[in-house]
Amino acid sequence: MTTFVLVPGGWHGSWCFEAVVPLLERAGHTVHALTLTGLRPDDDTTTVATANLDTHADDVLALFDRAHITDATLVGHSYAGMVIAAAADRADGRVSRLVHLDAYVPRDGDSCWSSTSDEYREVFRAGAAATGYSVDPPFRPGRPGGGDPRRRPHPLASLLQTIRLTGAVAQVPRRDFIYCSGWEEGTPFAELRTRLQADPGWQVHDLPTAHNAMREAPEAVAALLLDEAIADASTHRRQARR
């Protein structure tokens, strides 16, 4: 039995994994989906304003302690690639697998800000204009209300803080990167995918979905997490080298 810890990306909470969780549980596994500090509906202004990347890594480690987790598959979407890398680096060997689901894969000294595209830096700048400490969710054309109403303003400090890695994260036995190829015109992860395909320490997979794959294709995401075969859904780096 595997213990999955699912960490959402910017503006999102545990609800974004609501279609994936039952699929993993039905297969007999334990699943914890987190909502990070500053993104909970009842978080006050001070909590949002002071939450940073360290706060979010501590959220993961606090769950490990509370639930007595000693062998986790840690999954992070988008911004949460920063979070799971920081948490795994400090987890004292309690992470056996990292899955970056269309997510940043930082090196020491990186931040979400430095790792993303100019387009997303502009989203962060514009979204923080109202408060100076939190980034409003971006408007999504073509979606009711411009996007899911459960999205919350995201703590700006967590996007700006640089990550400090000791190298322990590189010792996690298995590391996967899932690249969502269905939004090529907007993805900030294309160069990252190329980098990781050339790294023997990573398994790289492709999903032909938009960014929020766990909502668009939950069965495909669950299958990759469960190591089930999906025709044409995953591409190992060995295939990319042919």
CA nearest neighbour of 240 among 182, 184, 181, 185: 181
pLDDT digits (tens, 9 = 90+) for 64-90: 999 999 999 999 999 999 999 999 999
Domain boundaries, the chain: 3-240
According to the model, what pLDDT value does residue 238 have? 39
Share of the chain above pLDDT 90, in %: 89
Instruction: Write out the two tokens for 10.
Output: 């910017």
Phi, psi (5° rounding) for residue 202? -125, 145
Q: Angle at the Cα of 62 (from 56 to 67), degrees rounded to 5?
A: 135
Closest C-alpha among 34, 37, 32, 39 to residue 11: 39
E strand residue ranges, 66-221: 72-77, 95-101, 134-135, 154-155, 174-180, 203-207
pLDDT digits (tens, 9 = 90+) for 159-208: 999 999 999 999 999 999 999 999 999 999 999 999 999 999 999 999 99
Residue with tokens 């978080």: 43
Of the CA atoms within 13 Å of residue 59, those in its CB half-sphere come to 28
pLDDT over 70 at 149, yes or no: yes
Report the SS3 class of residue 177: strand
Amino acid code (one letter) for 183 = W
Distance (Å) of CA 195 to CA 36, 158, 191, 200:
28, 24, 6, 10
What is the per-residue pLDDT across 94-129, written as a single tens digit (0 to 9) for each?
999 999 999 999 999 999 999 999 999 999 999 999
As a whole number of angstroms, the longest Cα–Cα distance in the chain is 53
CATH topology of domain 3-240: Rossmann fold (3.40.50)
